[in-house]
Each structure stands twice: as C-alpha cells, then as structure tokens.
Structure 1
Amino acid sequence: EQEALLRRRDGGHTEVMLGISRKDLGNQKVFVLTARDVSLTKRIKEELDESRERYRQLISRLQIGIIRTTPGPHYRILEANPSTLSLFGLEDESEVLDSDLFDHLEQDKSSSPLDISFDQDGIARELIFRVKKSSGQAVIASLSMIEGRDLQGKVTYIDGLIEDVSSQQKTAEERERLIVELQTSLMFMNQPIGSALGPFVSCEKTTQVKKAAELMSEEGTKAILVRDDEAMVGLVSDTLLRERVLARELPGTTEVGQIMQTPLIYVEDNALIFEAAMLLQEKDIDYLVIRDEHDAVLGVISNEELLDVHRYSANFVIEQIRAAASVEEIVQSHYRLSRIIKALNDSGAHARNITRIITTISDTVLERLVDMAIEKIGEPPVRFAFISVGSEGRGEQTLVTDQDNAVIFEDVDESMAGQVHDYFHRFATMICTWLDEVGYQFCKGEIMAMTPKWCQPISVWKSYFSSWIGESTPEDLMEISIFFDFRCLFGDHRFVADLHTHIRSLAQNQKAFLYQMAQNTLLFKVPIDFFGKLSVESNGPHVDTFNIKHVIAQIVGFARIYAIFYGLEITNTLQRINLLLETNAIKPELHQEIVESYNYLMQLRFRHQVKRIDEGKPPDNHVQINEISHMEKELLEKILGNINQLRKRLSLVGHNEIYF
C-alpha cells in the first residue's frame, strides 16, 4: 500500500491508501486498484498524538508526583513528571528513568522488606514510605498505584501517584503526643493522693521562724508542719513567712506557733487527686495535710503541685505566651491550640466555652505582641486603643480566622500629626506582621491596623461611622458591617466607649440604616430548598458542601441589628441575644430557638475544622454533606427552617419590625 491524495470531482483532495493487485478475470489478466479513505483515521491519530502531548504537559505542571513503572517486583521507572524528580531530590529525568522505584524509597518506621500489595481491583492505596534524598532531608511520601492491563488482562505497566505528606505526618504525631499528654493528665488526676506524696518536714511550735526557714531550705520544701508534742497543730509556708514575719518586721526569734496557719485541713490518702484539688478550691487554701486510716500524718501537698497538670490545658498555653521572650516562642505555644480545641470538642465541651478559650488565647497573643512592639520602638506619643472587629471583636473566633483589627488614637495638633501617624503606622505594621507569623493571617480585604485607612485618630473614626450610618448601601455594608462589632484589646477603653455613644446617637435618628443592615444580612443565602431539604453546592470548588459561616452570619446579623437599635454595647452574639431577652425585645421562645441553633451550628463548625486539620488540610467553613449523619441532617434542616423564619423578621426591618 502507498499513501496518496485523490483529487475529487469537486476539486478537493482525500487522503487514501492505494493498493494494487493482479487478478485473473476469465482469460484476461487484470490489475485491481483499491483506494481506502484514511483521512478520518489520520485525523484520529493526530488528535490522539495531540492528546498525549497535552497529557504530558498537564502532568508536568501538576504539583503531585506521577510515575509509570514496569510491573513488580522491581517496578522499573518508565516515566516521571517534574514533581516526582523534585520529591526525589533529582534534577534530570535521566537520573530516574530505568531505575528501580525502591532505589528511591524505603519503608517508613519499619525494617520489613519493601512490598506493594494490590487489591482485587488492581489498586494499592496510600502506602507510606520514606524518600531517600541525597540532601539527607527527611521526607515522608504517600504512594498509590494502579495496574494497567492489556486486552488479554495481563499487567503491562503500573501508574502511580506519589505525594509529600511530611506535614500531615507531623500533625498526626503532634496529635498523638498531645493525646498521650491528656491521657497522662487524666490518669494523674484519678490517682490516689497518697501516690503523689514526697517526704515532709515538721518542727515544734516553739521553734523559731529562722530555724524553721532553715529546715525548709535544707529539705527543699515550701511548707513545714508544726507539732505540739506529737500532734500536728499547724503549718507554716513561704507565703506565711513573707506576710506574717517579713512584712510585719518580726524578729527571727519569733516562735512558729505565733504565726502558723491553723486549723489544718486533712484529706485521706486514698482520696483521688482531683478530689483533693476540688477541696483546695472549695476551702480557698494552698495546702492540704494527708493522713492514713489511722490518722497518722503522711505529708503535705500544695495546690501548685496538684494543679501542675495545667500544662496540658489552655491555661498553660496562655502562661507560655505571656512569658514568651520572642515571636518564635509565641508561635511554638500557639501551635498547640488546634489540638487543645480538638480535645475539648471531642469531650463535648460547649461551643461558647471553646470560643472563649480561642478568644482568650488570641487576646493574650495580641497583648504580648503589643508589649514587645512598645519595647522595641518606644512608648506611644499619645493615648491609643488597639481594637479588634468582626469575629474577634465578638469573641467568636474559630480555627479559621484572619486578622480584623484597627488602631484608634488621640486627636493631636497639625504640628504633631505627621509624627504620630508615622509612629502608629510603624507600630501597627510590626504587630500585624507578627500576628501573621503566629498564625493569624493577613486579612485579604486589608482590614488591618497596618492599612493607613484603619489607623486613624478618634475624630476620623467618628466620621467613618457617620458616613456608614448615613449613606451606605447594603453592598457597602457587606464590607464594613464587621466594624459594628468592635472591642478594645489593648490601650485606652474610653475610645471604644466614645464610639459606642456616637453610634447610638446616630442610629436612633437614621432608621433607614437598620433597613440597609437587614438587607445586607439577607444577601447571605440559607442552604435549604423549597421542600425544606438541605441544599449543597452543585459546582465550583466546593461541590457537595454548604458554607456554615454564611448560615451563622444570619444569626450574627440579626443580633447586631437589634443590639444597635437598643443601644447595647456588648458585641458577643449570645450575650446580645440574652440582653435582648432581658429587655423584652424578643420572646423567650425565639431566644431559645436562636441560642440552640447557634450552639449547634458552632459545634458542627468546630467539628468540621478539626476534621480538616486531622486530614492535614487547612480548616475551612465548607461542610461536606457526607460528614453529617441522617439524624444530624434532619436536625440541621429544622435549624435552617428556624433561620428562614428569622430572615422573615429581618425582611420586615424598616417596615413594621422594631419600629413601624
């Protein structure tokens, strides 16, 4: 056969394969010429070649490693994209082609021989290996492979995906470590108090305080028991020596019987440690005396020793942050937050308690960073307030949060204005940059104190609110509504009180503003269809999810509007709802519905975010429909129905709701 072009009658050409053969036709010998149209076949071949090239270009740009190998046991590499080369620490494809896959991998945390086991569908999923990199860098990789077969069912090649999962492994290891810490803490708290005792020291009540202090120093204790003959009658501690001897300037010859703490509070040695801790708290004392069943004294224990378990709690993280000498130390302490939140969420802690802990930690971070900034650039030239807005301003932060903050400072003469503005801009930029390093990302909308517009004197801030209340549209308020949820984190709280008074006076005379606020809140949609069933996104980057933040935003918006109208300065959503109930602005039934709905949604939000972290993914607000059980889905649909009723109330604002 020979390729040729046939000229058609219409003047066009057709690609063909010409064939010629000799035949006998009766007594004649003839030549038979055949022409087979191959234009479609060639077009398919060209498109296939183009498709292969596009495939090669696609895999070369992917951030995940893609390989093709021969079948086992050697798995000789036939193809590898650039991401695979980067993962292996190689630069040229020639360094990997024809090499065995296991030349580059070793079993992670195992001395067993390398092996890949395929299931009945010819797939091996998420096998964990350690990459052998020439640089010595430790990289953990996840490998998934699928068998490629020919028409006879024979395995002819293996395609694989290989991905760096080092960060996910680190997160898993950190999670396990914290779980161990928490379990250790719980085990400690449930041990008998007698198991936590060490040696104790005692002296007669006639012993001089100087001698008693020497005994305490020798034994390395902070307390000494006082005897009267053989009976224990009192206790002297470091604190008592300071308060009752040094502060009163008593001589060292004073007898301990004159200053001792009495009577003693006893607990049996078989009591659990957490029971002893509760007794210390209940009696508001620092020391307990431990005795056995025969009333013999076994020792003394302090609340400090008992509550050392707090290192596994949020309080320990807060103390570490307050004591931090650098931003790096704050980063290390703050890293524990997500695991603490998981432990709280798993144990059934209330959502408002979780948000309170997150808020307290973020406030502590900010306070320490402000102190560090002032230490670095000097004292502020005038009074100021560093404020938070939005979720942080409401004390409702979750594990998905960026910065929403601002600075208000005192009005000054024009002669000082440039100097003051320069100081606070430098001050705010330093703090916002540090916050980003700690984990509070820069705001995409630039609502941060480092943005000059949001670092202004009090007079400018008043003009902002006057403009927003008097002239804004619902679309404008979508961007700036969070400024109506503000609180002072550091500095002079009078600026915040002054702004609240200013807003209250304006809002009372600008009823149309509340209408605009309500319309802004209604821009968020409820993920529920006409039949009251949960509706999820059908396309885009978040298929089969709904945005739980947008759902909660409608409760937040409702509380914000009513709080502004009734002049409430509190910013937290649940506290606003509670105050609205107390002022008879809403009925008890509505209050209960809102509180229960809000709490459930926040609990679900935390659960989803913790799940994302466990999977090595950044937390977000897009809840997958498959994360929710059938019963939870029914409850959620009921809550969404209640929020729809809340939306109807909001749609009446400016007509006959709140005012007529």
Structure 2
Amino acid sequence: MKNTISHRVADFLKNFPPFSFLKQKDIEILSEQISIIYKEKDAIIFAENDEVHNSFYVVHKGAVALKRSPKNSILDICDEGDIFGLRPLLANENYIMEARAHEETILYAIPIAVFKPYALENRAVGNFLIESYASNTLNPYSDIHRGKLYGDTVENEVLNTEVKLLDLQPVKYSKKIITCGPLTTAKEIAGIMTRKNVGAILVVEEKLPIGIITDKDLRNKIVTGDYPITTAANVIMTSPVITYPKKMTITQAQMAMMKSNISYLCLTKDGTINTKAVGILSKHDVMVALGNNPAVLIKALKRVKKIKEIKPIRTQTMQLLQGYLDQNIPMTLISKIITELNDACIKQVIEMSLAKMVTPPPVKFGWLALGSQGRSEQLLHTDQDNAIVYEDVPEELKISTNEYFLKLATYVNKGLFDIGYDYCPAEMMASNPKWCLSLEEWKKQVYHWITNPGKTEVLLSFIFFDYSLSYGSSEITNELSDYIFENIKANPVFYIHLVSGTLQSPSPTGFFRQFLLEQDGEHKDFFDIKRRALMPLTDAARVLILSHSVKSISNTAERFEKLAELEPTNKELYLSCSYSFKALLKFRTKQGLLHNDSGQFIALESLSKMEKIKLKRTFKTIKELQELISVRFNASNIL
C-alpha cells in the first residue's frame, strides 16, 4: 500500500529546486524519510549559536523569519518552497542566525544523512545549495535580488522618458527563411518567391548563406534582359550577404540598412556568414517597428482630424505596451511612456471637443484625471475617472458657466468612450454635475468631506490626493491642492480616518497564506489583484506621504521611493513596497493584455506554481507596511 503522506510530500517538493533537479523516483524515496513539523507563530526553529540539527528545512505552509543579532533584524523571510538551515549540510559549525516562525507554519525536515548523497552526485543540486548558502537569502527584495521579480532587470531610476527607446527595442524579424541553392535558375527563383509571397530569397550552400536575391535584383537583371531566365542564382545574387546577429535593435537595423544601402539583412546565429541563418529582416519590418514607438504615435495623434481616428492609435499603444513587457523594459519607464501617450489622447479629445463648442471657455478651467490615470498607473483600457474645476464667476454667470462646462464635459466623456475608455459605473465623470464645479464649490465640497469624515467622504477625498492635470490651468488646481492640505492640517481627526481606511484594505492571503478569493458575485472564486494587493499599497503610500506633507508626488512607486529618502530607518521596507507595487502592476497588466480585460480578476488555476509563489512574495510587504502604519498612528485606538 502506498504511503499517501510521503507521496503528497513528493508532489510538493518536485515543484521546487533543488528537488526539481532529482528524478521522480529519488524524490519519492527521499520523501519517505522526511519529518513534518508544525510551528506556531513566533516559535523558534533554531536559535543563533545553537548546535546544528541533523536536518535542513523546507517551508510547506506559512513563513519563517531569519534573524541575526545585534539588532535582531530580519535578514530574510522564507515562504512556500524556500529552503533554510543549510549550515549542517555544508559547514560543520553552529547556526549563525535565528529561524523563527513568522506565522503559523508547517515545515518539512530533510535528513542530512539521507540527502547528502544526492547533493554530491547531482551537480545541479550541489550548485543550487552552494549558491543558496552563500547568498544567505531568498528574499527578492534584498540587494542582490532586487528588481528580479517577473524577470525584471534592475531598474535604473535615472532612466526617464527621454531615453531613446529605439536603442532598447529589439526588432521583430521573419523566422520563415526561403532559400535556394547556388545553381537554382532565375525562373525557378521567381516562381518560389511568387508562391511564398516574399521579396527576397537566401542563397545557401551547405546550409550557410552565400548570397541574397531580391525582387529588385530580378527586375534589374532579368526583366531588363541583361541575363536570361535560365541564369543561375550564383550569377545574379548579391554576395557576400550582409549578416548580423539576431539580437538587433531597431536603431541598429536602420543604421545597417542605410550604411549598406540595402533593403534586407540576413540574421545568423553569431552574426557572421559562418553560421546558419536564423531570420531575414526587411526594410518593411523596420518601418513597421518604427511606426510603433512613442514619438511616431504622438505625431500621429497631433495629425488626427476626428476623434474616431484616435482609437487605432490607442490600439497601437497597447501593442507598444505588450512589446515593452515582452522586452522586459523597466516598469517605471513603461508607466511614464504609456501615461504620456494616454495624456496625449485625452488632450486631443479635449481640444477637439472644445472645437465643437460655439464659443471658447468663458473662464480658465482644469481637466483632472483621477484614480489610476491621475497616479500614472493606468496602463490598460479601463473606465474613465475625471473632473472639471473652473474659475469662480459672479452670481449672475454661475448657471451659464456651469452649463458650458457640463456640455464640454459631455463631449469629452463621449469622445473618451469612443476611443476605448468605458464610462465610470459610479458616474465619477466631469459630465456629472457633482464632478463639474467652480473652485469655490470644490473647496466647499472638500471642506465638507474633511469635517464630516464618514466612510464615503474619506473614499471620495482620496481622489483629490491622486489627481493630475490633463488639460488647462495649473493655477486653479494648485490653489485647490493647497486648500486641501491646509484643511487636513487643521483637522487631524480626518487624518485618523484616512489611516483607518487604509488599514481596512482586504488582505491578499488568509490561513496558511492561501489566496483569499471572491466569495460571490460575477467573479466568484477569482483573485482580485486590485483590491487585495495593489490598493493596500496605494492607500498606505498615500497616507504616509501625506504625513510628510509631500503633495507633488502622486505615483505609488515614486511615493515609496520618496519615503525611503525621508525615513532612512525604513528604507528597505519602502523600497520593497515600491518593487512589489511595480511587480504587481506588471503582473496585472500582463493578465489584462492576455485576456483583453482590466486584469483585475485572476483565475488562479491559470497561473503556474512559480507565478503564485512570486505573487505571494510581493504580499509580504503589505502586511509589514500595515503593521508599521498601525504602530505609528496608534491604530489600536482608531479601529
């Protein structure tokens, strides 16, 4: 009879290194010798300077904190699938750190004597253990791992939207190479090119490229009568063929074609004629790629004459976004570029809507982007959140002025809908009279929210900490911002309610760190990555940055990076939060593009084991961050 427990252990271990490097049979044999250990929260597994155990450990459920004196600071937190306590396997010395259950935890204890032969015989196992032991960390937010979530390269914060993205973008090339031999006739070549619908054919000998023939060659050499149609390829081909490595950027390809005055490049394994061809790159491929870059899209937006012409440009923006994600371009840079393109679309819609109005605006006004667009975090096609604030006017002009801006807002909201922004279900749009007010009216509204801080009022006030000016007068919006901050300082009770709202954000995980799924409704059994992962970080960043009276930064990741500067003692946590947020935003964006939706609700069964683990690692910071806020603002007296 099979040992059911050991088989369950084996099924778990096979998904994680170094056990994934072993044969299934070996994993099953090993699992029969493994002990299962339960630890309550804060229970010590081993202490600093303890004599080594006869096992090392794998976290099955829960989490384990690794700490070290003198400050007893957390060096790392190990969660599902992580290994720790390798010292007895690789060094005959006492433990140099403490391992303590960070929450209720189940461990697998792997006997050293049983496992050691596998480590000695299997090089991949041995190398993994040595690397893990040497780094002393599996924390994706530690210095050596930072920025590697979801394959991210380390993000250089010096990068900005002025970076020449064409130098970063690899060009897409055709992998379907059409070839012929050196003795193939021109007539046969013309037939092949016609059937395959290609403009060039590669001449190969012993699988290596020796020349190329294009439709231009056939026109200039055969159609003109200079050579008969029976002429062999090696006579009319361009040789030697110009080759490059397949990892070319758009700029490099463009420069190469201009330099040699050619329309096709042959891409080989090592970039020389001495290795097999892997692709053909045409001038058309380069032009298509050039058409999908921000500068070209911005120019195209400025040329449109009708709002409906903006929609295909928005589609190209989504293609650009997908390309950036595929190329692993840093999330900070992606957000800035897509936000600039979104802003350009909104500005164009507003200007075209103004052109529909019989008269120009009677007074200065500001069109405000709210929510994720206001924070420069709206990467996908989601619904629109916006508002209008306009200059105060005399009593006798109030009605006509408001009617003007409501009519303008109706045009703009309709235009935004036409180019892909859904209407806000809560009608939080400028065409709603509640969101189209004069400066004085907005001040009265905000004052009401701040001095009557119920749940609804707090949620509505959040909007005006995150907005950005899409179009119009910055003087008006700046005056409104100043007013908001002054009133918050004068009403500290409101700030307490902000803190309370932040701490009530739903947790992403529950018992044994399992994902908390929606319990009912349309998205039952789905994971809400917006409400349970992104919003807790967004809300916390807002509260903390407001406590420092910083009002010039609305982006969540940038807020955490500023907090890291302002509070050096919490620098590591805040930077972890910044990277967590960007990783989660990237994950949501990828899911949204994959399923052609907002990416908010995720079917967990569609995720790989590794994707789930990486998601959970980003959740660690949420709990630590909320604990920091709770202690700092004495939340026990609030909730």
Distance 1:331 1:555, change over 3 A: same
Structure 2 residue 569 is matched with structure 1 residue 583: no
Q: How does 1:525-564 map to 2 (within 5 A)?
A: 525-550=506-531, 551-564=533-546
Q: Give the equivalent residue in structure 2 for 1:409.
A: 390
Give the SS at the match of 1:544: coil
Distance 1:274 1:467, change over 3 A: same
User: Could you tell me the TM-score, scaled by structure 1's length?
Assistant: 0.53
Q: Give the equivalent residue in structure 1 for 2:315.
A: 335
Distance 1:607 1:408, change over 3 A: same
Q: In 2, are the aligned partners of 1:383 and 1:491 still within 8 Å (CA)?
A: yes
Q: Read off the aligned partner of 1:391 and give its amino acid letter.
A: S
Q: Give the equivalent residue in structure 2 for 1:636.
A: 615
Distance 1:496 1:563, change over 3 A: farther
Structure 2 residue 332 is matched with structure 1 residue 349: no
Q: Give the equivalent residue in structure 2 for 1:146.
A: none
Q: Give the equivalent residue in structure 2 for 1:142.
A: none
Structure 2 residue 428 is matched with structure 1 residue 447: yes
Give the SS at the match of 2:512: coil
C-alpha distance in 2 between matches for 1:586 and 1:627: 39
C-alpha distance in 2 between matches for 1:499 and 1:600: 33
Q: Read off the aligned partner of 1:496 and give its amino acid letter.
A: T
Q: CA deviation at 1:404?
A: 0.7
Q: CA deviation at 1:640?
A: 1.8
Distance 1:276 1:440, change over 3 A: closer
Give the SS at the match of 2:339: helix
Q: Give the equivalent residue in structure 1 for 2:53.
A: none
Q: In 2, are the aligned partners of 1:475 and 1:520 still within 8 Å (CA)?
A: no
2:465 counterpart (484, 491, 499)? 484
C-alpha distance in 2 between matches for 1:443 and 1:381: 27
Q: CA deviation at 1:464?
A: 2.0
| 1:455-513: CA deviation from partner (whole Å, max 9, x where unpaired) | 11111112222222222123432344223211111111112221222122222232222
Q: Give the equivalent residue in structure 1 for 2:590.
A: 607
Q: Which runs of 5+ in 2 are unaligned?
A: 1-168, 178-198, 203-211, 213-241, 263-284
Q: In 1, are the aligned partners of 2:526 and 2:601 still within 8 Å (CA)?
A: yes
C-alpha distance in 2 between matches for 1:599 and 1:608: 14
Q: Which runs of 5+ in 1 are unaligned?
A: 1-178, 196-268, 282-286, 293-304
Q: In 1, are the aligned partners of 2:590 and 2:599 still within 8 Å (CA)?
A: no
Q: Give the equivalent residue in structure 1 for 2:340.
A: 360
Q: Give the equivalent residue in structure 2 for 1:369.
A: 349
Q: CA deviation at 1:290?
A: 6.7
Q: In 1, are the aligned partners of 2:518 and 2:528 still within 8 Å (CA)?
A: no
Structure 2 residue 303 is matched with structure 1 residue 323: yes
C-alpha distance in 2 between matches for 1:328 and 1:488: 24
Write 1 or 2 for the structure with the bigger share of strand. Answer: 1
Structure 2 residue 581 is matched with structure 1 residue 572: no
C-alpha distance in 2 between matches for 1:275 and 1:448: 42
Q: In 1, are the aligned partners of 2:382 and 2:422 still within 8 Å (CA)?
A: yes
Q: Give the equivalent residue in structure 1 for 2:233.
A: none
Q: Read off the aligned partner of 2:355 and give its amino acid letter.
A: E
Q: In 2, are the aligned partners of 1:518 and 1:653 still within 8 Å (CA)?
A: no
User: Could you tell me the TM-score, scaled by structure 2's length?
Assistant: 0.54
Q: CA deviation at 1:279?
A: 12
Q: CA deviation at 1:352?
A: 2.9
C-alpha distance in 2 between matches for 1:413 and 1:328: 38
Give the SS at the match of 1:387: strand
Distance 1:586 1:183, change over 3 A: farther
Structure 2 residue 379 is matched with structure 1 residue 393: no
Q: In 2, are the aligned partners of 1:311 and 1:317 still within 8 Å (CA)?
A: yes
C-alpha distance in 2 between matches for 1:577 and 1:317: 31
C-alpha distance in 1 between matches for 2:566 and 2:341: 32
2:605 counterpart (614, 623, 626)? 626
Q: Give the equivalent residue in structure 2 for 1:245.
A: none
Q: CA deviation at 1:379?
A: 1.5
Give the SS at the match of 1:531: helix
C-alpha distance in 2 between matches for 1:291 and 1:609: 42
C-alpha distance in 2 between matches for 1:367 and 1:358: 14
Q: In 2, are the aligned partners of 1:388 and 1:488 still within 8 Å (CA)?
A: yes
Q: How does 1:23-38 map to 2 (within 5 A)?
A: none
Q: Read off the aligned partner of 2:628 and give its amino acid letter.
A: R
1:438 counterpart (409, 413, 419)? 419
Distance 1:317 1:181, change over 3 A: farther
Q: Read off the aligned partner of 2:481 and give its amino acid letter.
A: H
Q: In 2, are the aligned partners of 1:389 and 1:484 still within 8 Å (CA)?
A: no
State percent identity of aligned pairs: 24
Q: Give the equivalent residue in structure 2 for 1:226.
A: none
